[in-house]
């Protein structure tokens, strides 16, 4: 991609130069012979092209970019200009009737003075050196920007994969603990719990591998998780799930809501019908509002949040920069998480 863009810039530049030369030939009052065209534009064209690419491919990469030898670069650049001006002057002297001769206003044939011609040659050579340096710097800058964006994207993807790899084992570990408790109690709910866990894991392993999933699928996953958690309690868990708005095919990052729900079950009181876990989801085509409130479990001394919420907040920073608001309220009796997403 970089080579293609570089080639295009070079092609456009030399096309402009050729067009300008062509217009110069066409505007000449008398028709130039092939030999005159060769002297004017062939020889000098090769010299100017050489100036351009010696600076572009040798001087800048070797002295500026690799070794930062700016003094040596300036000296080499001046040496290149002097050498090419000598070469141009020799060609002009050998072809003085073509290069140096011109008609004055009164029609008298005159010749350009050598010092004047040298000054013009220095200006022309300097022009091609400056242009080659600008093109080189521009191409390298855009190339470095592209590489930097690619590295940042790869770093972001690696971090997201790491966060996701933390999330799945974390959830699985907690769920297996719950199923172990049911099995230890020889509960009839054990088989249902295993079946529900298999459905959840199918979503986590297959569908959540996509970068985005539909909001409806994510909410179904949350519902399945709640049903799995209810099996832990003899009389079921006390959960109020309220859905409002348009919950359809809006896209959301998978597994972004589950940590809040898991945190409520892990650290809160989930079996008090008078003070249930309250989950409220409101959505339209642009905004998702998610909130969850749970009563604190005073017997559970673990810090609220933990790996799960730290994980999800980092994922929000990476995937929804400037597009989310997360508000955590940790009161004496309740814990509330409120998330606003631009979807």
Q: Give 283's strand partners.
A: 245, 288
* pLDDT the model gives residue 325: 94
d(CA 259, CA 79): 68
More confident residue, 296 or 209: 296
> Tens digit of pLDDT for each residue in 202-243?
877 777 677 788 899 889 889 988 888 887 777 778 999 999
d(CA 254, CA 330): 26
- In 3D space, the residue among 261, 262, 254 whose CA is nearest the CA of residue 315 turns out to be 254
- In 3D space, the residue among 183, 177, 176 whose CA is nearest the CA of residue 200 turns out to be 176
pTM of the full structure: 0.54
- In 3D space, the residue among 50, 23, 25, 19 whose CA is nearest the CA of residue 39 turns out to be 25
What pLDDT band is residue 179 in, cutting at 50, 70 and 90? confident
d(CA 174, CA 199): 16
Domains of the chain, start order: 2-150 (no CATH), 187-342 (3.30.565.10)
Residue 326: count other Cβ atoms within 10 Å of its Cβ.
Answer: 17
Categorise residue 76: left if φ over 0, alpha if ψ from -120 to 50, beta otherwise: alpha
> Tens digit of pLDDT for each residue in 326-338?
999 999 899 999 9
Residue 210: count other Cβ atoms within 10 Å of its Cβ.
Answer: 12
> Tens digit of pLDDT for each residue in 113-171?
888 889 988 999 999 999 999 999 888 888 777 777 776 665 666 555 655 555 556 66
């Amino acid at each position: 991609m970089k080579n293609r863009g570089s080639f295009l810039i070079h092609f456009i530049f030399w096309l402009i130069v050729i067009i300008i030369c062509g217009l110069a030939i066409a505007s000449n009052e008398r028709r130039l012979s092939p030999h005159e065209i060769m002297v004017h534009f062939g020889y000098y064209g090769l010299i100017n092209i050489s100036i351009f690419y010696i600076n572009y491919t040798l001087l800048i990469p070797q002295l500026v970019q690799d070794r930062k030898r700016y003094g040596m670069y300036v000296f080499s650049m001046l040496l290149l200009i002097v050498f090419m001006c000598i070469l141009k002057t020799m060609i002009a002297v050998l072809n003085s009737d073509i290069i140096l001769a011109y008609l004055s206003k009164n029609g008298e044939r005159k010749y350009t003075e050598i010092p004047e011609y040298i000054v013009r040659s220095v200006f022309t050579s300097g022009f091609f050196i400056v242009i080659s340096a600008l093109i080189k710097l521009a191409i390298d800058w855009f190339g470095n920007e592209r590489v930097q964006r690619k590295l940042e994207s790869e770093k972001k993807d690696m971090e997201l994969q790491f966060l996701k790899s933390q999330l799945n084992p974390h959830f699985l570990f907690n769920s297996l603990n719950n199923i172990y408790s049911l099995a230890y109690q020889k509960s009839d709910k054990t088989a249902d719990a295993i079946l529900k866990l298999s459905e959840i894991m199918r979503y986590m392993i297959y569908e959540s591998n996509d970068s985005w999933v539909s909001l409806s699928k994510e909410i179904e996953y949350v519902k399945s998780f709640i049903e799995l958690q209810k099996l832990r309690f003899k009389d079921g868990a006390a959960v109020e799930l309220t859905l409002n708005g348009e919950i359809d095919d809006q896209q959301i990052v998978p597994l972004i809501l589950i940590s809040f729900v898991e945190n409520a079950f892990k650290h809160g009181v989930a079996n008090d019908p008078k003070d249930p876990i309250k989950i409220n989801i409101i959505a339209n085509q642009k905004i998702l509002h998610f909130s969850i409130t749970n009563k604190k479990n005073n017997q559970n001394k673990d810090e609220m949040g933990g790996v799960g919420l730290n994980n999800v907040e980092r994922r929000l920073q990476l995937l929804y920069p400037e597009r989310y608001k997360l508000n955590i309220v940790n009161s004496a009796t309740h814990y509330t998480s409120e998330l606003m997403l631009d979807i």
